[in-house]
Amino acid sequence: MSDHEKAVKKAQEALGIKFNDEYLLRVALTHSSFAYEIGAADFNEKLEFLGDSVLGIIITEYIFHAFPKFQEGGLAKLRANLVRAETLAEIARELRVGEFVLIGRGAEQSGGRRNESILADCMEAIIGAVYIDQGIEVTRDFIIELFRGRISEQGKAKELGDPKTTLQELTMERWSALPDYEMVSQDGPAHRPIFSAAVTVRGQVYGRGVGTSKKRAQQIAAKEALKEISKLEF
């Protein structure tokens, strides 16, 4: 069994979908690095483009009906949190997409199977392939099943915006001061670093975060700061 056949077999088992045209799924799993390496013409960027649009409309329709009290701004923030690369990568990891995505040797050696961008793009391409092969109803059920828990959790959240933006708005409102982020440390191997960050306001540390990127560490620190500041009396 070839690498392509193994990848398609594992993917169908993980997704719980039997494709009519397995070549579509094969393309969805093929990263450009792998295609260039073997001289293949097709890789997943076009399906990713389609999947991004399909995901957006299905999530938008669902939250429109699920949260009738939300105004446009709230719905837009909720949708943005749900369809961002970080969320898609989390879902891809849950489905073990990293195990069967087809990537080149260079990308493999640099940790491509854990790369957030590669996983998120592949997840969008899979959605595009499901849509073409199975139609809108199956695709809607597939997406909502993957996102239902996150939709419920995010819909109940008090702060739907990016935590760094929300923290900045809060500190400006309360103290007329901007938060300051400091990178505390960087550990781990070069291909998989772990960053630690702290956020201060007027010299006081309110949050700390650890993540696989500086941005992620700062976001986690901002979330922690929001929790701590919300406990203060004003």
Just list the catalytic residues. Answer: 52, 124
Please give, one letter per residue, the 3-state secondary structure of the chain: CCHHHHHHHHHHHHHCCCCCCHHHHHHHCECHHHHHHHCCCCCCHHHHHHHHHHHHHHHHHHHHHHCCCCCHHHHHHHHHHHHCHHHHHHHHHHCCHHHHCECCHHHHHCCHHHCHHHHHHHHHHHHHHHHHHHCHHHHHHHHHHHHHHHHHHHHHCCCCCCHHHHHHHHHHHHHCCCCEEEEEEEECCCCCCEEEEEEEECCEEEEEEEECCHHHHHHHHHHHHHHHHHCCCC
